[in-house]
Structure 1
Amino acid sequence: MKGEMTKEELLKIEQNIGKILRAGVFVSSVVIIIGILMFVITGHSGYSDGIWPDKFNEILTGLVQFKALAWLMAGLFLLILTPVLRVVASIFAFAKEGDKLYVAITCLVFIILIIAMLIGHGGA
């Protein structure tokens, strides 16, 4: 009976991870569509030619100011963040499962993702 509970728990965890992925893609798609509609309606990105928000605080400021390109960038950022959230959810799932090896491997993957994002953000 305990084996069945474990299978049910694992199925629920996998379903929750699937919900995270679907929600992330949905939210990022909505934000991107809003940015596209803003661009089509206004006819401009909200920024001078050759300028775009590439820092997190610039994107947030552009969102508040309803600049189309900031909304597009935020949507792309959310889309990139979605699989990272899946990795985080997997860490908790493996921990709940008691699989220390996979917790360690998934933590290593998460650290690599964070380092890659920091390097990419720094332009190195």
Structure 2
Amino acid sequence: MNDNSEIQDVELAVSRWLRIGVIISAAVIVIGLILLFIHGGSGYPDDYYPHSLSEIYSGTITLKPYAVITTGLILLILTPVLRVAISIWVFVREGDKLYVIITSIVLAILIISFILGKA
């Protein structure tokens, strides 16, 4: 019974993190949308939009609407990646080496896909 309650506690913690990630990303997107309506545009000249993480970061710091919205979308995309990372930690705690390996491979594939997706 103790193992079952510990598993439920871990599942609740993971679901809390997912919920927090979605709420934060939604809040950032809403802030970006409010800025978009206030500024009346993306915050960038003509049809230019930031494409690199450094441009998005600097645009977010200066409250450019498109950059803030993009930051919220990036946070939303990273939320399930955080869930995979938390799962690795859970499997390490449980001593389940097979699932640590499998989940680590999944995390590596996700990270590689982000890097290759930039090309």
By the TM > 0.5 criterion, same fold?
Answer: yes
Tell me, in whole angstroms, the C-alpha distance in 2 between the residues paired with 1:74 and 1:52.
13
Give 1:80-91 correspondences, 5 Å limit: 80-91=77-88
Q: Give unpaired runs (5+ residues) of structure 1.
A: none
Tell me, in whole angstroms, the C-alpha distance in 1 between the residues paired with 2:77 and 2:19.
13
Which residue number in structure 1 is paired with residue 51 of structure 2? 54
Tell me, in whole angstroms, the C-alpha distance in 2 between the residues paired with 1:114 and 1:64.
25
TM-score (norm 2): 0.96
Give 1:73-112 correspondences, 5 Å limit: 73-112=70-109
The 10-residue stretch of structure 1 (71-80 or 54-63) with the greater mean CA deviation from structure 2: 54-63
Tell me, in whole angstroms, the C-alpha distance in 2 between the residues paired with 1:54 and 1:5.
49
How many residues get paired?
119
1:6 deviation in Å? 1.6
From 70, 85, 88, the counterpart of 2:67: 70
1:50 deviation in Å? 2.2
Question: Which runs of structure 1 show a deviation greater than 4 angstroms over 4 or more consecutive aligned residues?
Answer: none
SS in 2 for 1:44: coil
Q: Which amino acid aligns with 2:40?
A: G
Tell me, in whole angstroms, the C-alpha distance in 1 between the residues paired with 2:97 and 2:17.
23
User: CA RMSD of the aligned region, Å?
Assistant: 0.9
Which residue number in structure 2 is paired with residue 21 of structure 1? 18
Q: Give unpaired runs (5+ residues) of structure 2.
A: none
1:24 deviation in Å? 0.5
